[in-house]
């Protein structure tokens, strides 16, 4: 514990401004609601001059072997991560988890439950939507790029609404029919955020709370007090550099990071063509990535066999 506090304070020196170069450690692929493959992510990251990227699909690590393969192919450093859906007394908390043991049974069962809850919730939303709009569950499933391996979410419903000609793009769907204030909206029952932080820690990983100052997500923001509960559970870091965190929230989050010696990260929340966010628009500094690597499970201990996706993708 003492050691990690020392490591955190040393990497936070000079971290009150966003890094000018570094890593994008918040990227979604076809294994959740991104539109690009790990191969496309790796190629774009190299072209963009990023020092490295992290795959961070929702509630799954099924893309990790593919990301490792592509990283080796192009010589791009990567971190392996997941954005875990969680909840704290009705506040939606997205937890980025890096370099944890993907074979950990608690993590596996956590993902199994959330992914089932996401399916049930998406089906219920589609059932309600289909009374008023020409969409079906089959049309939603057809939007998942990797079949059952894809974590289903609202973006797939949005894509179905676009395919049916109801909306012009995902963003239009999200600002109306699919927004969290829409009558069709149903939240995903999610695990308790401090339990997720503890589970990630127990699996040897590093946890960072994503876009905690993003008011546009609809749910209320996590209070400082609840932040403290997450810190007590073992929270490692906070994503400050994210387009959803406005200036006042960045200041607040930096203050919390200083108070509790948390790592400060940044990421684009890239979804390929699914969102306007550009790869590398927000970054994490090299020394912060080094601290994450040092705290998490090293690659050679993850027991992952790098794999290529079939050649037509
Ligand atoms: P869900 O997790 O199913 O509630 O869906 C939320 C996901 O949709 C998050 O990963 C967001 O990144 C994504 N999302 C939110 N707003 C938009 C938008 N305007 N356009 C595209 N995707 C969005
Ligand atoms: Zn997403
Ligand atoms: Fe998120
Ligand atoms: Fe995300």
The answer, yes or no, to whether any atom of ligand 1 lies below 6 A from the CB of 275, is yes
| Nearest partner of 230 among 119, 91, 123, judged by Cα | 91
For the chain, what is the largest distance between any 2 Cα atoms, rounded to a whole number of angstroms?
Answer: 58
Distances in whole angstroms, Cα of residue 116 to Cα of each of 48, 60, 128: 36, 12, 19
Beta strand 91-98 with 206-209 is: antiparallel
The answer, yes or no, to whether any atom of ligand 1 lies below 6 A from the CB of 33, is yes
Per-position DSSP letters for the chain, written without gaps between them: -HHHHHHHHHHHTTTTS--SS-EEEEE--TTTT-SS-HHHHHHHHHHTT-SEEEEEEET--TTHHHHHHHHHHHT--EEEEEEEEEEETTEEEEEEEES--TT-HHHHHHHHHHHHHHHHHHHHHHHHHTTTSS--HHHHHTT-TTGGGSPP-HHHHHHHHHHTTS-SSHHHHHHTTTSTTSTT--PPP--BHHHHHHHHHHTT-EEEE-STTBGGGSSPPPPHHHHHHHHHHT--EEEEE-TTB-HHHHHHHHHHHHHHT-EEEE---B-GGGSSPPTTSS-B-HHHHHHHHHHS--GGGS-----PPPTT-
155 alpha carbon – ligand 1 mean position (Å): 6
Q: What is the per-residue pLDDT across 76-133, written as a single tens digit (0 to 9) for each? A: 999 999 999 999 999 999 999 999 999 999 999 999 999 999 999 999 999 999 999 9
| Residue of 81, 94, 117, 155 with the most ligand 1 atoms within 8 Å of its CB, for mutation | 155
95 alpha carbon – ligand 4 mean position (Å): 9
- Residue 219: its pLDDT value, please? 72
Neighbours of 64 (CB within 10 A): 22
Q: What is the per-residue pLDDT across 143-174, written as a single tens digit (0 to 9) for each? A: 999 999 999 999 999 999 999 999 999 999 99
| Residue of 56, 92, 271 with the most ligand 1 atoms within 8 Å of its CB, for mutation | 271
Backbone angles phi, psi at 167, to 5 degrees: -125, 160
- Residue 16: its pLDDT value, please? 84
pLDDT surpasses 90 at 55: yes
34 alpha carbon – ligand 4 mean position (Å): 9
Backbone angles phi, psi at 213, to 5 degrees: -110, 15
What number does the ligand 1 atom closest to the CA of 274 have?
21
The answer, yes or no, to whether any atom of ligand 1 lies below 6 A from the CB of 153, is yes
The answer, yes or no, to whether any atom of ligand 1 lies below 6 A from the CB of 243, is no
The residues facing 78 across adjacent strands are: 53
Q: What is the per-residue pLDDT across 208-262, written as a single tens digit (0 to 9) for each? A: 999 999 999 877 999 999 999 999 999 999 999 999 999 999 999 999 999 999 9
214 alpha carbon – ligand 3 mean position (Å): 10
211 alpha carbon – ligand 3 mean position (Å): 7
CA-nearest residue for atom 19, ligand 1, is 171
Average pLDDT of the residues in 277-282: 98
227 alpha carbon – ligand 2 mean position (Å): 22
- Contact by Cβ (8 Å): 114, 252: no
CA-nearest residue for atom 4, ligand 1, is 154
**Which ligand has an atom closest to residue 210 CA?**
3
The residues facing 270 across adjacent strands are: 27
What number does the ligand 1 atom closest to the CA of 174 have?
19
CA-nearest residue for atom 21, ligand 1, is 275
pLDDT surpasses 80 at 5: no
Q: Tokens 């912060």 belong to which residue?
A: 288
Packing angle between helix 105-129 and helix 193-202, nearest 10 degrees? 140
| Residue of 26, 33, 151, 167 with the most ligand 1 atoms within 8 Å of its CB, for mutation | 33
Structure token pair of residue 99: 């370099």
Cα–chain center distance at 164: 28
- Contact by Cβ (8 Å): 209, 229: no
């Amino acid at each position: 514990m003492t050691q990690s506090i020392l490591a955190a304070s040393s990497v936070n020196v000079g971290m009150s401004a966003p890094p000018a170069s570094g890593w994008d450690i918040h990227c979604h692929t076809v294994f959740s609601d991104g539109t690009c493959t790990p191969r496309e992510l790796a190629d774009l990251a190299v072209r963009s001059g990023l020092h490295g990227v992290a795959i961070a699909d929702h509630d799954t690590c099924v893309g990790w072997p593919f990301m490792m393969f592509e990283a080796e192919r192009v010589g791009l450093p990567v971190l392996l991560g997941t954005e875990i859906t969680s909840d704290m007394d009705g506040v939606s908390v997205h937890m980025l988890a890096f370099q944890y043991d993907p074979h950990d049974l608690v993590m596996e069962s956590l993902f199994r439950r959330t992914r089932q809850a996401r399916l049930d919730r998406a089906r219920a939303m589609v059932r309600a939507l289909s009374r008023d709009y020409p969409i079906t569950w089959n049309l939603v499933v057809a939007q998942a790029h990797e079949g059952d391996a894809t974590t289903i979410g609202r973006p797939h419903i949005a894509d179905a609404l676009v395919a049916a000609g109801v909306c012009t793009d995902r963003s239009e769907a999200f600002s109306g029919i699919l927004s969290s204030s829409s009558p069709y909206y149903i939240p995903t029952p999610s695990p308790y955020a401090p339990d997720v932080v503890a589970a990630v820690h127990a699996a040897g990983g590093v946890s960072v709370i994503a876009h905690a100052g993003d008011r546009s997500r609809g749910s209320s923001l996590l209070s400082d007090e609840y932040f403290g509960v997450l810190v007590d559970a073992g929270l490692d870091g906070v994503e400050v550099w994210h387009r959803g965190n406005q200036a006042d929230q960045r200041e607040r989050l930096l203050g919390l990071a200083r108070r509790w010696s948390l790592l400060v990260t940044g990421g684009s929340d890239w979804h390929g063509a699914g969102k306007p966010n550009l790869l590398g628009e927000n970054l994490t500094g090299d020394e912060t990535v080094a601290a994450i690597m040092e705290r998490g499970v090293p690659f050679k201990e993850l027991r992952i066999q790098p794999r290529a996706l079939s050649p037509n993708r």
